[in-house]
């Protein structure tokens, strides 16, 4: 097991998959981190050296990811609702926020706005 940024990963896990398991780290960010530390895209996390793991952990601590990012998103939505803006009202009513058709796409918006992003 390899310990990276508060999580344990099995040694056979791909580095890209392990990095993308963090909230806020997608394909582009993980590819950038892997290129920065000269890690092949099919590399397993168990084959990394201590220097590479420590470097990845140091870079991840400098980013806004996981709980910090979730808290920031919830805070932004709460700010919109408290301000009384159109977007905040749409979030409060579980309706599409960015101008989508309400006839066909309201089910998706109600599903997405229901989760704890609402604040």
71 assigned to some structural domain: yes
54 and 84 assigned to the same domain = no
Distances (CA, A) of 62 to 57, 58, 78: 9, 7, 25
Q: Which two tokens stand for residue 76?
A: 């932004």
Report the domain count for the chain. 2
Domain that residue 102 falls in: 67-114
Taking the C-alpha atoms of residue 27 and residue 31, their distance in angstroms, rounded to an integer, is: 6
6 and 52 assigned to the same domain = yes
CA atoms within 13 A on the CB side of 12: 0
Report pLDDT digits (tens) over 87-108.
999 988 888 888 888 877 677 7
Q: Is the pTM of the predicted complex or chain greater than 0.95? A: no
56 and 76 assigned to the same domain = no
The CATH number that applies at residue 73 is 4.10.910.10
Report pLDDT digits (tens) over 49-58.
999 999 999 9
């Amino acid at each position: 097991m390899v310990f990276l940024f508060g999580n344990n990963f099995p040694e056979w896990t791909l580095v890209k998959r392990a990095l993308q398991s963090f909230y806020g780290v997608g394909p582009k960010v993980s590819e950038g981190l892997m290129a920065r530390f000269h890690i092949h895209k099919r590399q397993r996390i168990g084959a990394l050296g201590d220097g590479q793991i420590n470097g990845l952990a140091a870079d991840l601590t400098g980013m806004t990811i996981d709980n910090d990012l979730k808290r920031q998103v919830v805070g932004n939505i709460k700010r919109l609702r408290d301000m009384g803006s159109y977007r905040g009202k749409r979030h409060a009513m579980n309706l599409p926020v960015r101008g989508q058709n309400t006839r066909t796409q309201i089910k998706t918006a109600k599903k997405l706005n229901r989760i704890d992003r609402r604040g």
